Amino acid sequence: MDGMSWPSQSELDGMREKVAQMSGGDAKEVRFVVSPYRICPLGAHIDHQGGTVSAMTINKGILLGFVPSDDSQVVLSSGQFQGEVKFRIDEIQLPKFNNGSNNTIPVMNSSKSEEECNWGSYARGALYALQKRGNFLRKGIIGFICGSDGLDSSGLSSSAAVGIAYLMAFENANNLVISPTENIEYDRLIENEYLGLRNGILDQSAILLSSYGCLTCMNCKSVQTKEYQLIHPPNLLDGQKISMKSSYKILLAPSGLKQALTTNPGYNRRVTECQEAARILLQASGKEGLEPLLSNVQPEIYEAYKSKLEPSLAKRAEHYFSENKRVMKGVEAWASGSLKDFGKLISESGLSSIKNYESGCEPLIQLYEILLRAPGVFGARFSGAGFRGCCIAFVDADCALDAASFVKNEYRKVQPKLASQIDQERAVIICEAGDCARVI
């Protein structure tokens, strides 16, 4: 199994039939965007401050089957949500939600049923982003979109995967040649401007730039240049003839909490707190002219002036500076093939997210602690912002099944109600590294 093990031929065939039924055309004409989910082993919550992050994709994600329509109509159906989304590709899109630059709480506020009606927002947002950068499209698409079972709202960046899937389908149908780095910017426009979430560029960069088996390391400050490096693992691990790629698996342990990030005020509030810490540190060091981002504060300045920060802001800054260091050490550990060291750093990062960034919630913290006790686990942390979704872990491939059943049983003991809402077949998912988003 490798990064190309998803999507399977049967998934593609099933979707081909659905799209052909919708369009009335030939199933052979159906094209696909494969847009994987991402994990961020190290570098949590620092992308929005211009920090350096690490990421990779997994062999699960969003699949969008489509054909270009004969005219400007966009018609979409979803494997997860009810109803059809219809609009014209030449309709001018405006941000859906009022995104004032000062907002500390997201302006998008929706219940689950509203979310059902609103699932077309990402497609409209993709069109908004393309138009905002001067691309006026003529051809719509007829498409069916579906996420891997059991993983919607898992903190694996399904929203960026969806946004990228629509961008790539619209671009392909209109013969637009757009580079991955341009799509990073387009997806930023969907999330920051169209949906009002003040997140960084970690998610979409990981999805667009990753390469199977490598750790992607990105400097999120260079929004213009999109500087990144692919860190290859060594071929041999500890002198044995074992490839690092086959020696670990990635465990995903869903918590059962699913509230969308755009409907939770916590994320944008933390961004504001980090900026406030940066503003105070820059002011104390006579650099108030710089944009209040923690990446504009040199580590020596932080050390010299951190006593000026009140306790909660001091914790946010401590997370930022310690996490940057963990990313650098993690890159070395990955390049030298030490999953043990890499895993230790992931767990330390998880702890800092809980203690310093204060972004976990009880079920995710419990899952994190359970994963650390599971057999063969190198390291664990919660995925994404930490307000919902799943915990991830790197585990010795030989212990993956035992670790999965341990976690499933232990989580059921501490969170019986949430656990009962998770399909028991998918209570813990064992997956592998993936590749970047592509059209096939």
Catalytic residues: 203
Smallest gap from residue 191 Cβ to ligand GLA (A): 7
Segment near ligand GLA (CB under 6 A), from 42-50, 72-80, 210-218, 222-230?
Answer: 42-50
CA 386 to chain centroid: 12
Binding status of residue 47 toward ligand GLA by CB under 6 A: yes
CA dist 89 and 308 (Å) reads 52
20, 44, 129, 391: which one contacts ligand GLA (CB under 6 A)? 44
Residue 33 — φ and ψ, nearest 5°?
A: -105, 125
User: Smaller CB distance to ligand GLA: residue 181 or 405?
Assistant: 181
User: 339-355 vs 311-336: helix axis angle to the nearest 10?
Assistant: 170
User: Smaller CB distance to ligand GLA: residue 106 or 337?
Assistant: 106
Residue nearest to ligand GLA (CB): 199
Residue with tokens 């993956």: 400
Restricted to residues 85-114, the positions that interact with ligand GLA (CB under 6 A) are none
Smallest gap from residue 23 Cβ to ligand GLA (A): 33
Cβ distance 82 to 326 under 8 Å?
no
Smallest gap from residue 292 Cβ to ligand GLA (A): 17
Alpha helices in 106-226 (DSSP H): 112-117, 121-132, 158-173, 180-188, 202-209
Binding status of residue 384 toward ligand GLA by CB under 6 A: yes
Smallest gap from residue 389 Cβ to ligand GLA (A): 9
User: Smaller CB distance to ligand GLA: residue 388 or 408?
Assistant: 388
Cβ distance 249 to 431 under 8 Å?
yes
First to last CA, the chain: 19
16, 48, 124, 381: which one contacts ligand GLA (CB under 6 A)? 48
CA 53 to chain centroid: 12
Select from 245, 254, 251 the least CA-distant residue to 402. Answer: 251
* Pair of tokens at residue 323: 């996490």
Residue with tokens 């199933």: 27
Smallest gap from residue 188 Cβ to ligand GLA (A): 10
User: Smaller CB distance to ligand GLA: residue 45 or 139?
Assistant: 45
User: Smaller CB distance to ligand GLA: residue 16 or 48?
Assistant: 48
153, 157, 172, 219: which one contacts ligand GLA (CB under 6 A)? 157
385, 400, 422, 428: which one contacts ligand GLA (CB under 6 A)? 385
Restricted to residues 197-236, the positions that interact with ligand GLA (CB under 6 A) are 199-200, 202-203
Q: What is the DSSP string of 306-324?
A: GGGS-HHHHHHHHHHHHHH
Cβ distance 330 to 42 under 8 Å?
yes
Size of the residue set binding ligand GLA (CB under 6 A):
12
DSSP β-bridge partners for residue 41 = none
User: Smaller CB distance to ligand GLA: residue 89 or 278?
Assistant: 278
Q: 10 Å Cβ neighbour count for 111?
A: 9
Q: What is the DSSP string of 182-211?
A: HHHHHHHIIIIIIS-----SHHHHHHHH--
CA dist 344 and 29 (Å) reads 48
Give all strands (DSSP E) within 280-385, no chain letters.
377-382
16, 31, 45, 249: which one contacts ligand GLA (CB under 6 A)? 45
Residues 160-199, one symbol each (x = binds ligand GLA by CB under 6 A, - = not), give ---------------------------------------x
Segment near ligand GLA (CB under 6 A), from 38-46, 87-95, 179-187, 300-308?
Answer: 38-46
User: Smaller CB distance to ligand GLA: residue 77 or 154?
Assistant: 154
Interface positions with ligand GLA (CB under 6 A) = 40, 44-45, 47-48, 157, 199-200, 202-203, 384-385
